[in-house]
Amino acid sequence: MKPFWRHDKFRAALRSPSLMLGVVIVVFWVVCAIFGARLAPMDPYADNLLATLSPPSAAHWFGTDQLGRDIFSRVIVGARDILTAGLMATLLGTVLGTALGLALGYIGGVFDSVVSRIIEALQALPLVIVALMALAAVGTSNLTVILVIGFVFTPLIARTVRSAVREEAALDYVAASHLRGDRALSVMIVEILPNVMPLVLVEMTVRLGFAIFFVASLSFLGFGIQPPSADWGLAIAENYSLIGSYWWTVIFDAAATASLVIGFNLAAEGVQGLFEQ
């Protein structure tokens, strides 16, 4: 077996500008999320009422907010909460959506028809509205944000996986599994799932970008990650009214959010290109 760095796919990945740029951006923020507390030059939660709303300077690279907290340190540390919530929600949605998509595509019949109609009805609703209604019903916390976004993503991923599974289920290797007497669960997991995994990986990468934006949006609206977190969406909400006179209190958190979303989207585009080759 050849080492992974000698495989054509790996070499193609190194030649993909979008994939490499996306990976670099994402890795940068992952490092910040893991080591943010050590990388931050100041305590991101410490108030300094003598330095409130200070503009960017040598002492405070990104300036300070209305409580005198160092914005650069808060941006670095804030990567942890938004990345953790986005990643966990995407993993939950991917696992549930893949399982549901496998069942719908393989079983078919009335089960597929009924559930597919429900999914179509859910997709007709704005995702943010659905999430806000759910959070208003169950309450807001970091855990409920992850669960709600994961469940919102589930039908979207399920529909994509279902289409791929239906195509695979009509192929000869699945018919051969039936002739061998393999159980339905075995056919789905052992035979069909490996063949739709590239699609699942692409879908998961795409959803990661959506999840980051989703978490930031909910935090901005007051239904996402809660204080005293340095979450970027929450920071934008706290300082939004000051943007006219103190632009630095918002712009750096907004730029961080945009860069992470763009990074995941570039990575997803690159991964999709690799699997299409």
Q: Map tokens 């051969």 to a residue.
A: 176
Determine the pLDDT at residue 260: 95
Contact 209, 153 (CB under 8 A): no
- Residue 144's CB is within 10 A of a number of other CB atoms, namely 16
pLDDT, averaged in runs of 10, over the chain (277 residues): 49 72 94 93 91 92 94 95 95 96 91 89 83 86 91 93 90 83 85 89 90 92 86 92 92 96 89 69
Determine the pLDDT at residue 95: 96
Q: Where are the alpha helices (DSSP H) in the chain?
A: 8-14, 17-39, 71-107, 109-123, 127-138, 142-169, 172-179, 184-186, 193-220, 232-239, 248-276
Determine the pLDDT at residue 109: 87
The Cα 87–Cα 132 span in angstroms is: 19
Residue 122: exposed, middle, or buried by beta-carbon count in 10 A (0-12, 13-18, 19+)? Answer: middle
Name the residue type at position 49: L
The domain segmentation of the chain, as residue ranges, is 18-25+69-270
Determine the pLDDT at residue 5: 43
Token reading at 225: 């990650």
- Residue 163's CB is within 10 A of a number of other CB atoms, namely 14
The Cα 186–Cα 255 span in angstroms is: 46
Determine the pLDDT at residue 2: 42
Domain 18-25+69-270 has CATH 1.20.1540.10: no
Determine the pLDDT at residue 190: 87
pTM score: 0.87
CA atoms 134, 135, 137, 141: torsion sign: positive
